[in-house]
Amino acid sequence: MTTTTQTSTRAINSLAGEADALLISLGVKRSRYTGGKLIARSPITGEITGHVNEIGAADAQAAIDKAHAAFLEWRLVPAPKRGELVRLLGEELRANKQALGRLVSIEAGKIASEGLGEVQEMIDICDFAVGLSRQLYGLTIATERSDHRMMESWHPLGVTGIISAFNFPVAVWSWNAALALICGNSIVWKPSEKTPLTALATEALFDRALARFKAEGGKAPDALSTVLFGGREIGEILVDHAKVPLVSATGSTAMGRIVGPRLAKRFARAILELGGNNAAIVAPTADLDLTLRGVAFAAMGTAGQRCTTLRRLFVHESVYDTFVPRLKRAYESVTIGDPLKDGTLVGPLIDAAAFASMQKALSEARAAGAKVFGGERVFADGADEAYYVRPALVEISEQTGPVVHETFAPILYVIKYRDFNAVLDLHNAVPQGLSSSIFTNDLREAEAFLSARGSDCGIANVNIGPSGAEIGGAFGGEKETGGGRESGSDAWKAYMRRATNTINFGRTLPLAQGVKFDVA
């Protein structure tokens, strides 16, 4: 393969200097990212961009206690007023979209449009949450008793813990934070150790919005939003703290297996966004031009480091020999390199561990008899500590070995199929259940794919790829993906507690189910 590659000629410390300038412009004090033990490193060159101060265990406990005290105040603020704070946060994000988007690209290695797109997601969820702040509806319920009214009401839940991953370093925070805030909760965030600078920037923008909210007469406690920088120990404190009734955790299925039981042990709620071994089916009637674009972005975008990345592709035998060669040519022509340069479509993997995981999966695929196209490292000038790879297209005859496991890298396994019902079974025969697609112009196939016997994923699409969800729909998946839902639809209910209320406005006391209990 002859994938076009850009090499980096950036001077030493140039990214550190740019990150510094961006952080200052976003309102972050230099002392927050100098002199600390948590190293921030850009995957673009491998260069160190900051040293962030970590928090100790005792201070983390104290911060959560303060967040709980803040919740006790914030829950009393009317929801539409809470929405005003989120509106101001959206304004700060709009005004600083370019700077924060650029910082996302530097720290997570995303191409420029994806860095900006992540900030746009933050803006979108703020808009969604502001409207929602006037729509936290309960139900009026029919009652069997005369002169009674029954209804449900929704109340703030408490401190919302957020544990986020490197691949969407700020958007995942916003999905949870915007809804938690309008629902009356305070928030405590443990960002990924791999992306602390974007968390500092987000914290600074929230503080600006909070200052404006107070200046305009709003009432809000200071510890409404807290960021905890640290490793696993800090995450465990957040998961185990009795004053955190809800934790939204994004990461691997292995992480979820630890977090879920620990939360269940103390009867806390979990929103788990875990692994995704996402698949697409290319049917005989598929529009192959449209399909090519959908598959290419879903499989190679963000260097394969999205939870919704396309990892398995089932292609019908009647179009396989036409479509797969075209897909290979797309893989050969995609531009790999510095994500900050115009024209780049595939940036770096996050670190050496991601590269090693990718190579291990490809080795296993070869051992299973697969044909592997691409997958090797591309060395950029002056960036030996950066890990750029050619996206890998792997033709394999069976869904076996590494195919059933999620590898967080740009590997697309391509399998030929003949029978539609059989391929539906293959599609669903993996432990994960996040996102899925079918490319078809056959109405029956499309509807079957969306039906109860079709895709078992939380997201099922027709004629678009599995990657790139919108804010309006609830995001999340089934099985080992964790079952959590964030963002749109009625996901707000996870951040609140429900009460069923019955009011007797009569002068008698009829009991439900006809029970009689008369006393003198």
Catalytic center residues: 273
Cα distances (Å, whole numbers) of residue 64 to 161, 223, 240: 9, 9, 11
User: What's the rounded Cα separation, in Å, for the pair 374 and 390?
Assistant: 5
Q: Indicate the angle between helix axes 253-265 and 232-240, nearest 10 degrees.
A: 30
What secondary structure does DSSP assign to 366-390, as a single string?
A: HHTT-EEE---EEPPTT-TT-BEE-
Cβ-in-10-Å burial (0-12, 13-18, 19+) of 321 comes to: exposed
Tokens representing 185? Answer: 């909760």
User: What's the rounded Cα separation, in Å, for the pair 373 and 393?
Assistant: 5
CA atoms within 13 A on the CB side of 89: 33
Q: Indicate the angle between helix axes 317-333 and 288-300, nearest 10 degrees.
A: 50
Decide if 189 contacts 172 (C-beta within 8 A).
Answer: no
214: number of Cβ within 10 Å: 13
